[in-house]
Amino acid sequence: MDRDQLAHFLRTRREALQPEDVGLPRRPRRRSAGLSRDEVAVLAGMSTDYYSRMEQRRGPTPSEQMLAAIAQGLRLSLDERDHLFRLAGHNAPTRALRSDHVSQGLMRVLDRLTDTPALVLSDLGETLVQNWLATALLGDQTRFTGLARSSVHRWFTDPASRAIYPEADHDHHARVQVASLRAALVKNPRARAIVDSLLSLSPEFAALWEQHEVAVRRGEHKRIAHPELGVLDLHCQVLHTDSHDQILLVYTASPGSDGYEKLNLLSVVGSVS
């Protein structure tokens, strides 16, 4: 662990960011050249003291999980993330098996979407990050672990995962989920474990899998069943990375429509449980 270089790297990356770059409000009478240490700590989900000690060349060696959180909080590129890991005495995470590190370009867009629900998914349907309005609309989709991180796996193994869609739309969403997983299978080796698990657990999945439909997630019309607002008719816009291994989903509605009015109420209603 190179404490001097680690501290210098963290400080320079922090000072290169402004609050609006990461979706934070600009506070009056700021003294920091860029983000403050407590703002980075909030973005990374850790205590200000823990983060500050790294910039002060003291404290324990951070874990890989902590480093990944800091890399995401500071919006590091993959090269910068790998450098951070090496400075802290860890091997850089492998890129071949798909990283949870969100594309820098997608994060820049997401950080600026403060008035509409948006989230970033992997090609396996894993929610990597979501803004607070997406949490209010869909619930916390980042809390799952193991194979359940994949929305495809949850769709066929956890009935509660279907509750956010009207029952009349379930067949359509099931087909979309399977077709998306089929498209990911040829480029993401982690997809095989999801497929094998679902083939053994879900006759519905097995039947759809046999149809060999393939489709990359694209924009479409969606109906979301919210427990307090009822059904919202929304447009789902999709932005892909060049490699198509991550996508940004943005939910919008036509101005003046019922869905538009309900989206405006999300900030009042708050997050669903």
Out of 117-126, 182-191, 254-263, which region has the weakest mean confidence (pLDDT)? 182-191
pLDDT at residue 136 greater than cutoff 60: yes
- Per DSSP, the chain holds a count of helices (H) and strands (E) of 12, 5
Which has the closest alpha carbon to 126: 107, 106, 101?
101
pLDDT of residue 99: 59
Under a CB-based contact definition with an 8 Å cutoff, are residues 215 and 90 in contact?
A: no
Give the H/E segment covering residue 231.
strand 230-240
Amino acid at site 32:
S
Q: What are 28-70's pLDDT values in tens digits?
A: 776 767 888 888 888 888 888 888 888 888 878 888 888 988 8
Q: Give the mean pLDDT of 104-125.
A: 88
Determine the Cα–Cα distance for residues 262 and 227; give it in Å rounded to an integer. 12
Structure tokens at 93: 């995470």
Residue 223: which of 154, 158, 163 has the closest Cα?
Answer: 163
Mean pLDDT value across residues 255-270: 86
Q: Which two tokens stand for residue 140?
A: 């916390």
The top-level CATH class assigned to 3-87 is mainly alpha
Cα(88)–Cα(126) distance, integer angstroms = 27
Q: What share of the chain is helix, strand, coil (3-state, %, to 5)?
A: 50, 15, 40
Find out whether 221 and 233 touch, Cβ atoms under 8 Å: yes
272 has a pLDDT exceeding 60: no
Q: List the chain domain ranges.
A: 3-87, 104-269
Tens-place pLDDT, residues 62-102? 888 889 888 888 888 777 888 888 888 888 776 544 457 78
| Model confidence at 271: pLDDT above 60 | no
Q: Kindly provide the residue ranges of all beta strands, DSSP E only, lying in 54-195, ordered along the sequence.
A: 118-122, 127-130
Opening angle at CA 95, ends 94 and 100, nearest 5: 95
Q: Considering the domain 104-269 in this protein, what is its CATH number?
A: 3.30.450.180
Phi, psi of 230 (to 5 degrees): 80, -155
